Homo-oligomer: A and B are copies of this chain.
Amino acid sequence: MTITDTDRAGAVAPGLRRAAAPAVPSSTLLRPLGLGEVAITGGFWGERQRTNAVGTLPHIEHWLEREGWLPNFDLAAAGALPEGRRGREFSDSEIYKYLEAVAWEIGRTGDPALEARFRAIVARVAAAQEPDGYLNTAFGRPGQPPRWTELEWGHELYCAGHLFQAAVARERTRPGDDDGLLGVAVRLADLICATFGDDGIRSVCGHPEVETALVELGRVTGEQRYLDQARLFIERRGSGVLGDIEWGRAYYQDDIPVREAEVLRGHAVRANYLASGAADVAAETADHGLQEALRRQWENTVARRTYITGGQGSHHQDEAFGDDFELPPDRAYSETCAGIASVQFSWRLLLAEGEARYADLVERTLYNVVATSPSHDGTAFYYANTLHRRTPGAPADPDVASPRAEASLRAPWFGVSCCPPNVARTLASLDAYLATASADGLQLHQYAPARIATTLDGGRRVELEVRTGYPLDGRVEVEALADSDGEWTLALRVPAWARGASVKVVSEGREVESATAEPGYAQVRRRFLAGDVVTLDLPLAPRFTWPDPRIDAVRGSVAVERGPVVYALESVDLGPLADDVADVVVDAAQQPALEDQDVVVRVRRREQPDREWPYDGVAESGGAAGGQADATAPVALVPYHAWAERGPSTMRVWLPVE
């Protein structure tokens, strides 16, 4: 047995891979295992997938009908538009994201009621498609802007991209089905290729998304044209093909060509979708220069422009990245969709390069952004994910769509409601982000109770069960359910924060190997026998985390993490000590403790009477007026993803140190 860095010996054989997964490159170091190969069976994510199916999907469909965004397609089919059209210019995309979510969910469960709902909506969408393949309820009719005339803000290609991804999800989970969605997608894609090809409109969409979708549609259909069109869109961008706007062309990444950029910038969702599409193009065209550029952008973005939660986007104004190290917790935008888009980008780099750091960021973002957005019952959502709330705010009305991206508590729906269906499609396809295969074996990147069954190169059949209470418990057991035909390597990700991890192998009742496991991938190479159990122990003691000193907004503060989970102090947990998280400082000399499953820190109350002028302090303590209580008191923190479930409260992730 060797426990070393990941084996980068070679990729699986190229070809049209057929995993039921959102991103299936023809040829990368790692091959994703799809829904037919991996099934989450419970635990943290299994619970959220159930809530997604039972709570979120019906909730979304209800709101799509109620807001008129789905009925827009009926109006289009009836020739009744533009009168009566409701929703923003990109509202069609929410129906497509919902369809994608439902397609994955049917792929996971085969739910016949869901299948009927899916087909009914596909039929309504298909009926709205025009004879030449065009499909968008907001453009092209008398009284509407002409097709393709508002590329900066119109989102036509963006909507098409989400339609393609829905069709890809369906085709990968129900290949060759007669529902007709793939046909709708292909007709629109053909029109787009004819319209935006070398001889056509030499521009791009203001909101990247169609690029990654076209590559995937090409992978599913084998049509080279779609990949070529995606590559064209990637190459055109960055030379000022779109108009200038108030926030500058960096907003939609039209300031610098993709392969020349050093860091993600501008609108954080746009930036990550574009990077995902570029990674797809790089993978399909073996464009090493582009791949290198994307790696550099990822590294700089992670080192300088990412919140501790994995969230990205520091500006409310333009939903955008800020400058390097501009990461204010109280004005964190950290849009849920940006987190999801970041997962997509990191996942693609992981498939290409096989490095654990990409999976580390995926995990962090899943636990602390994607899991934070939906409420416990999956019917309310955070759009922006602040790391600091100073005012308790007011509960959101469960019957009123929030006009704002922000809400003090989660809101049921938004005027721009991209996040709920984006969460839904991510959770419904999450099984496909757990594991990959390489020429040499199988890699486990995320830990959840799961069953895995696939065939490695050379026909070596692998069947595994993963048992774990992660992230509350650090033990992960992987049991082989069948004898393997030959040797292969099981690689288990050891996150960067896991100092002192260990791995052991028990075969036929006795421990045959054990070793410490450094961050990266712990690898076990053997001919597995049925009943062999590989156990990975990840240390989960809660820990203080100190930020890079250049992140000015959190200077003198510390965060608390346990495993991949970021914790927060919520005022509801302060009890009689204080009403507001602003009234306490943390004693950083005492390490955070685990009491039952609670993460506990010691805090001290700080007296802070108002001054007439807040800048008259003469010493760092804040002047003579301030004062701290003598005694510290223990306070339990809450996992950040679970905050704001107990009514209005103030909250902070970064705790000032006394």
Q: What is the distance, in angstroms, from A78's C-beta to the closest C-beta of chain B?
A: 31
Name the distance in Å between A326's Cβ and chain B's nearest Cβ. Answer: 5
A322 / chain B contacts, CB cutoff of 8 Å: 330-331
Residues of chain B contacted by A544 (CB below 8 angstroms) = 618
What size tier do the contact residues of chain A reach? 35 or more
Pair A610/B304 contact, Cβ less than 8 Å: yes
A508 at the interface (CB under 8 A from B): no
Q: Mark A604-627, 1 if CB is under 8 A from B, else 0.
A: 001010111111111111110010
A302 / chain B contacts, CB cutoff of 8 Å: 612-614
Q: Shortest beta-carbon distance, A245 to chain B, in Å?
A: 7
> In the docked arrangement, what's the CA distance between A111 and B141, Å?
59
State the majority secondary structure of interface residues on A: loop
Whether A325 sits at the interface, judged by CB under 8 Å, is: yes
Residues of B with C-beta under 8 A to A247? 404
CB distance from A136 to the nearest CB of B (A): 24
- The distance from the CB of A596 to the nearest CB of chain B, in whole angstroms, is 26
The answer to whether A552 has its CB under 8 Å from any CB of chain B is yes
Return the chain B residue nearest A393 by Cβ.
B323
Pair A403/B244 contact, Cβ less than 8 Å: yes
Residue in B558, B608, B656 whose CB lies within 8 Å of A548: B608
Given contacts A316-B315, A323-B391, A326-B390, contact A614 B551 (CB under 8 A): yes
At the interface, yes or no: A50 with Cβ under 8 Å from chain B? no
Interfacial chain B residues near A89, Cβ < 8 Å: none
> Which of B360, B582, B616 contacts A325 (CB under 8 A)?
B582
* Contact of A582 with B391 at beta-carbon distance under 8 Å, contacts A330-B326, A614-B303 already known: no
Cβ of A328 and Cβ of B325 under 8 Å apart? no
A606 close to B557 (CB less than 8 A) = no
The verdict on A622 contacting B496 (CB below 8 Å), with A326-B331, A415-B246 known, is no
Q: Which residues of B lie under 8 Å from residue A328 when comparing CB positions?
A: 328, 330-331, 553
Q: Which B residues touch A317, using CB under 8 A?
A: 315-317
Bound-complex Cα distance A555 to B614 (A):
13
Bound-complex Cα distance A611 to B612 (A): 41
Contact yes or no, B615 A548, CB < 8 A:
yes
Most-contacted residue by chain B among A403, A556, A656 (CB, 10 A): A556
- Does A594 lie at the interface of the complex (its beta carbon under 8 Å from any beta carbon of B)? no
Interface bits A124-141 vs B (CB < 8 Å: 1, else 0): 000000000000000000
Given the complex, which residues of B lie within 8 Å of A357, measured CB to CB? Answer: 612-613
Q: Indicate whether A299 reaches chain B with its CB closer than 8 angstroms.
A: yes
Q: A565 at the A/B interface (Cβ < 8 Å)?
A: no
Residues of B within 8 A of A299 (CB): 612
Within 8 Å CB of A325, what residues of B? 390, 582, 614
User: Is A547 interfacial (CB-CB < 8 Å)?
Assistant: yes
> Complex: how many Å from CA A347 to CA B289?
62
Say yes or no for A472: interface residue by CB 8 A criterion.
Answer: no
Q: Are B556 and A614 in contact (CB under 8 A)?
A: no
A557 to B497, CA, bound (A): 29
Task: Kindly state the separation between the CA atoms of A377 and B547 in the bound complex, as whole angstroms.
Answer: 42
A115 within 8 A of B: no
**Contact status A552-B610, CB under 8 Å:** no
Cβ contact within 8 Å between A248 and B548 = no
Q: How far is the CB of A365 from chain B (nearest CB, A)?
A: 13
User: In angstroms, how far is the closest chain B Cβ from the Cβ of A393?
Assistant: 10
Task: Assess whether A549 is in contact with B656, with CB atoms less than 8 Å apart.
Answer: yes
Interface residues of A in 536-558 (CB under 8 A from B): 544-558
A496 touches B616 (CB 8 A): yes
- Which chain B residues lie closer than 8 Å to A217 at the CB level? none
Does A559 make an interface contact (CB < 8 A)?
Answer: yes
Distance in Å: Cβ of A413 to nearest Cβ of chain B: 15
Docked-complex contact A548 and B246, CB < 8 angstroms: no
| A308 contacts partner chain B, Cβ-Cβ < 8 Å | yes
Q: Is B549's CB under 8 angstroms from A330's CB? A: no
Q: Knowing that A324-B390, A549-B621, A550-B614 are A-B contacts, what are 9 other residue pairs whose CB atoms are under 8 Å apart, sorted by A's residue number?
A: A303-B611, A303-B613, A316-B317, A326-B330, A357-B613, A545-B615, A548-B608, A555-B556, A556-B620
A-B contact pairs, 22 of them (CB 8 A): A245-B403, A246-B403, A302-B613, A303-B611, A304-B610, A315-B331, A322-B331, A324-B390, A326-B331, A357-B612, A544-B618, A546-B623, A547-B617, A547-B622, A548-B614, A549-B656, A552-B553, A552-B656, A555-B555, A556-B556, A556-B620, A588-B620
